[in-house]
Amino acid sequence: QVQLVESGGGSVQVGSSLTLSCAASGFTYKHYYMAWFRQAPGKEREGVASVDTQNTTAYADSIKGRFTISQDNAKNTLYLHMNNLKPEDTAMYYCAAGEGRLSRSLLLHQSGYIYWGQGTQVTVSS
């Protein structure tokens, strides 16, 4: 069955770095576009970063220049490299997958994704 398993979250200080990983299985990874979403307490889930099957990336304005999304197709693994973390980055981070192609303008919208992981918590304290 399809599985997306996130790891790498934790509690860190402001200005720290973390790398999240998402191990995918149960589907043909190279045919899917992938993304990271996050949800803070009391807030809606928001798209953070995405990468499509052509390795084209998209980022939310709030994290541009600090976060980088990457993937290793040989390992079926998605990454989110997060630098200069801020308290407002505190959230549960989710990995998501969608099949085929999607308009770049929709890559950070939840509706385009069919598979979701359980999430990994990132807490940034000052």
What's the CA gap between 5 and 86, in Å, rounded?
24
pLDDT tens track for 77-123: 999 999 999 999 999 999 999 998 888 888 999 999 999 999 999 99
pLDDT for res 105: 85
Helix-strand-coil split of the chain, %, nearest 5: 10, 50, 40
Q: Tell me the CB-side half-sphere exposure of residue 80, using CA atoms within 13 A.
A: 33
Can you say how many angstroms the Cα of residue 5 is from the centroid of all Cα atoms in its chain? 11
